[in-house]
Chain A
Amino acid sequence: MKPVIIIALNDTLISVKERATFLTGLLMPVLMMVLLGVAQGGNDGATITIDVIDEDGSKLSTQFVDLLTDEMQGEQDAFRVCAYHSDTAEDCDLPDDIADTPGDWRSTADDRLEKTDTYGAIIIEDGFGDHLRAGDTTTVTFKNSGNLSAPTLAQQKIDAAISRMSGSVAIANLTVGIAEETFAAFDPNSPERAAAFDSVLDSAETAWQDRPITVNSQSTKEQVSRSGFNQSGPGTTTMFVLMMALSAASILVYERKAGTLQRLYTLPIAKWQIITGKLLSCYLVSALQFIILIGVGMLMGVEWGDNIVGLALVILIFPLTSTALGLALATVARTSAQASSLQLLLGLTLAPLGGAWWPLEIVPDFMKTIGHISPIAWAMDALQEMMFYDGTVIDILPMLGVLLGMAAVFFAFGVWNFKYE
């Protein structure tokens, strides 16, 4: 076993000294992760813009907008509220004079919805305040662009603001009503009634501030975004780990041409030890690269999930499958140039087939099936199971099993087809 380790460490030293290892092994995947990640929406789950058009401009409508902002921009900053009458939120990209041109508000909103500058627009029509004061019902309009990945979440937030508002208004109207019955009726439009209403409404609002009932939210997990870096992270990582391990092929073929492999054969060690040592180094380097890319992905906001053991198993097994494929490749390539182009060809077909560049959910079913000839598809399935569905080790065992099976097949082919002379 000792010669295997000596050879593996020497090869690892050689590839770590090689600048190309860093360029193609770390720099390129990180660049690609960023490019694909941004192209697919970055971490769009973080902030969703919602426009608010207050055509009423009354005290009540202003209060409603405040409530809405409060609900939507709560602790998690999940939403960004852009109110047209007071453009205070950052990054809204509204026209500078928006507050002074209420006539254009609706067309601006339609425009922004169309260009998906915003995901939804809430319109509070003229008369909102008067209707509520008079104890009448009123409606607000919510338009959404259809692109909203979590429309129900936005709906919930709006509903929450509405119930709070309705509650306060109902209390105010009830209280004023009771006062009128007990004492004397107000003239419906008198400033006295309005003052009484406002004062009760304020008290009610204040009382709401300290909610009598709060939800102690214990949901296990935030909804994890499935696009952006959460797609490009695992995608580029598995692709480049595969490519790195496939370089086992060009190393073996190159050393056969350069004569160093033959020189190793003249040493008093068994041939299987030599080949195993070389493969072990490729395996170690690609597993190390896997770990580093997971770390870099984390810094960019990839949510790899909490299943450390599962992740570790993928890190151990996927490079094994890839290295075995590298060995198989080495036995069919005659020159190292051939090996490198085969390596590139395999990398550039198995990656998109396996869903490294775009999610397999968006491809037709038959392509999804074909895609699973790629080890990347199984590694992606395992990773995403843990990222999006809280997958346990048991949940990812089938994928790991397939990866191990593939490794066995590639190794068997490689060993059978390997030419020592």
Chain B
Amino acid sequence: MPTSAAPIIEITNLKKHFNPPDGPLAVNKISMAIMAGEIFSLLGPNGAGKTTTINMMCGLLTPTEGDVIIAGHSVIKEPLAVKRALGVVPQELAIYPTLSARQNLVFFGKLYGLGGSELNKRVDEVLEFTGLTERAKDPIEEYSGGMKRRVNIGIGLLHRPQIVFLDEPTVAIDPQSRRNILDAVKELNAQGTTILYTTHYMEEAQELSDRVGIIDHGSIIALGTQDELMQQVGEQDTLVFCVPDVPDEFIDTLGAIQGVNKALHVDDEIRLLAKDGRTVLPDAIRLINEAGLSLQSVEVHEPTLEALFLHLTGRALRD
């Protein structure tokens, strides 16, 4: 991957306090850098502050405090210069449903300053890239959810931006469309585009990212390459027991087993973080049986970002 050591984005003390003093503190003094050529994922649960951060970075929201320097320009002082370097793909579909994909692309392309044969060429290329060439002339309201998402993404790529922000581009779509989008993101990155990708799916962050920032309640609680992050969890395994109808007190019983660092109850699952999963497993199974609960399956995971989040917050990434 063409990652270089030079930061192309520098965020300093970025803060957003909506409707102060009683409104939510959505982003709480974030500072971090994104390197030219990397895929950087911002991973966090719903309401963590991902969208708010991205919106401040692209000049859509005015920060309460702090600044972001993108490609050498301050988003506060030179918003237009920053916007020229950026392609932004918003979380919500921001397209005109009665127009066709081509009409949408042509419209936004013109506003990005493209024109003439250059515009047509780019529109064709983006349609090809997003796999929409055949349906390009149909109104978008007749598209499937996945196709709409792809138009939404394509618009942000028209002007060949140096940097692309993708805000949860795979929310609520089928596995196949998600696969296409993830592959497209990798290809875009391979062409040299720096990518900031937000998600609450740890699998996506794991598959795509050079580096990951984990955000929770408006703060970055961990940041680094995946290896660096895994070291923070230590050599821990995650044990996942599928057991219906577990009383909450029982989780504490499991947490008391020698070698278990954290125990958590998510839906029908019990999750245990343990230094050595294999030594803990027999005890856990015995206790579940003694409590008269029906154990349906057991899995042992290698350390994951999910486990890191659990380790850091005591909560699951998705709840």
Which A residues are within 8 Å of any B CB, using their own CB?
Answer: 3, 6-7, 10, 13-14, 17-18, 258-260, 262-270, 421
Which residue of chain B has the shortest Cβ distance to A267 in the bound complex? B111
Interface flags, B54-91, vs A, CB<8A=1, else 0 = 01001111100000000000000000110110101010
Smallest Cβ distance from B122 to chain A, in angstroms?
15
Determine which residue in B88, B96, B111 has the highest number of CB atoms from chain A within 10 A of its CB, and name it: B111
How many angstroms from the CA of A244 to the CA of B90 in the assembled complex? 30
Smallest Cβ distance from B105 to chain A, in angstroms?
12
Query: Which residues of chain A come closer than 8 Å to B103, judged between CB atoms?
Result: 13
Query: Which residues of chain B come closer than 8 Å to A260, judged between CB atoms?
Result: 94-96
| Interface membership of B113, Cβ < 8 A | yes
**Which of A13, A259, A269 is B94 in contact with, Cβ under 8 Å?**
A259
Interface flags, B98-120, vs A, CB<8A=1, else 0 = 11000100011011110000000
Which residue of chain A has the shortest Cβ distance to B55 in the bound complex? A262
How many angstroms from the CA of A13 to the CA of B100 in the assembled complex? 12
Question: 6 extra interchain contacts, Cβ-Cβ under 8 A, other than A18-B98, A258-B93, A266-B58?
Answer: A10-B107, A263-B90, A263-B94, A267-B111, A270-B80, A421-B61
Smallest Cβ distance from B89 to chain A, in angstroms?
9
A17 touches B98 (CB 8 A): yes
B90 touches A259 (CB 8 A): yes
How many angstroms from the CA of A19 to the CA of B282 in the assembled complex? 68
Smallest Cβ distance from A195 to chain B, in angstroms?
87
A6 touches B107 (CB 8 A): yes
A7 touches B111 (CB 8 A): yes
B62 touches A421 (CB 8 A): yes
Would you list 8 pairs from A and B whose C-beta atoms are within 8 A, ordered by A residue?
A6-B107, A260-B96, A263-B90, A263-B94, A263-B108, A266-B59, A266-B90, A421-B60
How many angstroms from the CA of A3 to the CA of B114 in the assembled complex? 11
Smallest Cβ distance from A247 to chain B, in angstroms?
15
Question: Interface majority SS on A: helix, strand, loop or mixed?
Answer: helix
Which residue of chain A has the shortest Cβ distance to B103 in the bound complex? A13
* Chain B: interface residue total (CB-CB under 8 A): 28
How many angstroms from the CA of A271 to the CA of B88 in the assembled complex? 16
How many angstroms from the CA of A18 to the CA of B94 in the assembled complex? 18
| Interface membership of B155, Cβ < 8 A | yes
Query: Which residues of chain B come closer than 8 Å to A267, judged between CB atoms?
Result: 83, 108, 111-112
Known A-B contacts A258-B94, A259-B94, A260-B94; A266 and B107 likewise in contact (beta carbons under 8 Å):
no
Query: Which residues of chain A come closer than 8 Å to B96, judged between CB atoms?
Result: 10, 14, 260
| Interface membership of B92, Cβ < 8 A | yes
Smallest Cβ distance from B18 to chain A, in angstroms?
9
Which residue of chain A has the shortest Cβ distance to B98 in the bound complex? A17
**Which of B59, B95, B107 is A265 in contact with, Cβ under 8 Å?**
B59
**Which of A6, A7, A259 is B93 in contact with, Cβ under 8 Å?**
A259
Query: Which residues of chain B come closer than 8 Å to A264, judged between CB atoms?
Result: 111
Known A-B contacts A14-B98, A259-B93, A260-B94; A266 and B83 likewise in contact (beta carbons under 8 Å):
yes
Query: Which residues of chain A come closer than 8 Å to B83, judged between CB atoms?
Result: 266-268
Query: Which residues of chain A come closer than 8 Å to B86, judged between CB atoms?
Result: 266
Known A-B contacts A267-B112, A268-B112; A259 and B92 likewise in contact (beta carbons under 8 Å):
yes
Smallest Cβ distance from A23 to chain B, in angstroms?
15
Query: Which residues of chain B come closer than 8 Å to A269, judged between CB atoms?
Result: 80, 111
How many angstroms from the CA of A270 to the CA of B84 in the assembled complex? 12
Query: Which residues of chain B come closer than 8 Å to A263, judged between CB atoms?
Result: 88, 90, 94, 108, 155
How many angstroms from the CA of A3 to the CA of B155 in the assembled complex? 16
How many angstroms from the CA of A415 to the CA of B61 in the assembled complex? 18
How many angstroms from the CA of A259 to the CA of B99 in the assembled complex? 16
Query: Which residues of chain A come closer than 8 Å to B62, judged between CB atoms?
Result: 421
Known A-B contacts A6-B111, A266-B83, A267-B83; A14 and B99 likewise in contact (beta carbons under 8 Å):
yes
Known A-B contacts A266-B83, A421-B61; A3 and B90 likewise in contact (beta carbons under 8 Å):
no
Known A-B contacts A14-B99, A258-B94, A260-B96; A266 and B111 likewise in contact (beta carbons under 8 Å):
no
Smallest Cβ distance from B133 to chain A, in angstroms?
22
Query: Which residues of chain A come closer than 8 Å to B61, judged between CB atoms?
Result: 421
**Which of A6, A265, A268, A421 is B84 in contact with, Cβ under 8 Å?**
A268
Query: Which residues of chain A come closer than 8 Å to B55, judged between CB atoms?
Result: 262
List CB contacts (< 8 Å) of B5-63 with chain A. Answer: 55, 58-62
B94 touches A268 (CB 8 A): no
Query: Which residues of chain A come closer than 8 Å to B99, judged between CB atoms?
Result: 10, 13-14, 17
